[in-house]
Every structure is written in C-alpha cells, then in structure tokens.
Amino acid sequence: MYALVEFKGKQYRAETGALIKVEKIDAEPGTALDIDTVLLLSGDTITVGSPYVKGAKVRATVESHGKDAKIIVFKYKPKKDYRRKQGHRQQYSIIKIGEIAAS
C-alpha cells in the first residue's frame, strides 16, 4: 500500500517504513506528524482525490535534519568583466512514514 502526498508544496510517494527527504521542518527529531493532504491512495483499489482523498492520513516521524551538497551559482557576461560566484546548501529533514490510514 502506498500514498501520494503533498507536503510543503511538493509531492512524494509514501510507503510504510520508507524514509523521505523533505524540505526542513521546524520540529525536533522524534516529533510525530500527520499529513492529511493525500492525493492518491493505493491498496486493493486505487482512490484518487479531488483534490485530496477525504479521511486519509499519513502518520510520519521526524528522524533527522541535515544539509545537501553545495550548489555553485556562477553568472558571467563574456567580454564585460562581469562575474558573480555564489554557493547554496539546502537544508532538509528526513521523515519516516509510520502508517497510512484510510477511513
């Protein structure tokens, strides 16, 4: 059984026991989350929401936080002596899917 959920503006495939890397959540590791924006629910039959499946919830727990690898943003214009170099490291949280509940 799996579910497609929308979390912080992005869509993820959630299966029981799976670890999912999402954008940073302001919660301590070990905190429980309930995600009720379920777009699709798969089991014996597939239920598609419009836009969300009513009564469906995904329970998850925050496992840890971290930073991704650095991404270099380099801009330049040829022959104009214009160069800008900037780096970025996106923060993320890892959540563990505990249970997919449908009513």
Residue 72 lies in a domain: no
The residue with tokens 């690898």 is 69
The answer to the question of residue 56 being in a domain is yes
How far, in whole angstroms, is CA 27 from its chain's centroid?
Answer: 14
Q: How much of the chain exceeds pLDDT 70, in percent?
A: 100
Provide mean pLDDT across the span 92-97.
96
In a domain, 71, yes or no: no
| DSSP assignment letter at 1 | -
pLDDT at 44 over 90: no
For residue 1, pLDDT beyond 90 = no
Q: What pLDDT score was predicted for residue 102?
A: 83
Which DSSP category does 75 fall into?
E
Residue 96 predicted with pLDDT over 90: yes
- Has residue 39 been placed in a domain? yes
Q: How many domains does the chain have?
A: 1
**Mean pLDDT in residue range 19-43:** 94
Q: What is the pTM of this model?
A: 0.82
Looking at every residue in the chain, the average pLDDT score rounds to 94
Q: What domain range includes position 53? A: 2-65+92-101
Task: Characterize the bridge pairing of strands 57-67 and 32-35.
Answer: antiparallel
